[in-house]
Structure 1
Amino acid sequence: MRPRHNLTFATRTMLSLRTTTPFELFDRLEHQLTQQLHGSERVPAAEVHETAEAYTVILELPGVDREGLDVKATDRTLVISAERRSQREAAAGDAAASEQRAAAEPLLSEFRYGTWSRSFRFPTPIEAQNLNATYRDGLLTVTAPKAQTHTTVKVKVEG
């Protein structure tokens, strides 16, 4: 008899774990989707414009401090990296502000923190030493002048 009682207890336990309402199923689905979104690669939205003289790249980087931006270039490639830190990370050095913020932890946060990086390869060379970057209202605008290398080489034909 005793083994049957244990089996009944195990069956009851499993049934009680599986009893969920449709709303709980939706909550679980939303939680899984949120985890996938936050686990996926974070890439800022961008616009790229071309004129006869330059390429202009505009990235949306809301909430990023100017110090968290890094712009690098090679002959044809522009690499832009950014870091968005949470308020807790930013206040880690300030103990008083850190204690005050710990009391106000969010119940839900859909903000994305971490590092982002985008690279852009252009069809023509750029002048990496003459890049111009401005950051205002969450938009980073980088202008990369096209290289003006028009060299003519005269080759002596022998024969």
Structure 2
Amino acid sequence: MALVRWNPWGEIGTLQRQINNLFEDTRVPSGLFDRDFLRVPAAELQETDDALHLKLELPGIDAKDLDIQVTEDAVHISGERKSETKTEEKGTTKTEFYYGKFQRVIPLSARIQNTNVTADYQDGILHLTLPKTEQEKNKVVKVNL
């Protein structure tokens, strides 16, 4: 039996890589001890002087299968990607597609007028325009040195 020297820094490096992979992935655990993962749509949030612009990737999902709810400080999106059932006489199918339900809550960096939100859904990309409240538009913060 060979004697191997234990290196604690090697384990810390492994832990750091695992944590980095966790934050880079677009999957979240569905339960505390559950090994199954739910897929959540990738999002992009852009802020301008007048509004927040939110884009979400939702390929293969019909608009009727989406539920979008907007509050003054968050966007709640849920939906379901339904599988296509095909009957084949021969062969097997292997898929990496995710089918099933998802939900995501995206906190917003500014308060918005949730009654004036506009949405556009084309080619699997959902565009939400979230206009800011007048208080947020005129907000000036003094910085003391």
Supply the distance in 2 between the matched residues of 1:49 and 1:57 (Cα, whole angstroms). Answer: 6
> What is the RMSD of the two structures over their aligned residues, measured on CA atoms?
2.2
SS in 2 for 1:149: helix
Give CA-to-partner distance per residue, 1:56-91, whole Å, 9 cap, x none: 111111100110111101121111122110112xxx
SS in 2 for 1:143: strand
Q: What TM-score results when the alignment is normalised by the length of structure 1?
A: 0.58
Structure 2 residue 45 is matched with structure 1 residue 45: no
Where structure 1 has 5 or more consecutive residues not aligned to the other structure, the ranges are 1-35, 89-100, 151-159
**Corresponding residue of 1:103:** 88
Where structure 2 has 5 or more consecutive residues not aligned to the other structure, the ranges are 1-28, 30-34, 137-145
Looking at secondary structure, tell me which structure has more strand per residue: 2
Q: How does 1:123-138 map to 2 (within 5 A)?
A: 123-138=109-124
What is the number of equivalent residue pairs in this alignment? Answer: 102
Amino acid at match of 1:115: K
Identical residues among aligned pairs (%)? 37
Aligned equivalent of 1:116, options 102, 110, 114: 102
Looking at secondary structure, tell me which structure has more helix per residue: 1
| Higher CA-based Rg | 1
Q: How does 1:1-150 map to 2 (within 5 A)?
A: 39-88=36-85, 101-103=86-88, 106-149=92-135
Supply the distance in 2 between the matched residues of 1:67 and 1:40 (Cα, whole angstroms). Answer: 24
Where in structure 1 do 4 or more consecutive aligned residues deviate above 6 Å?
none
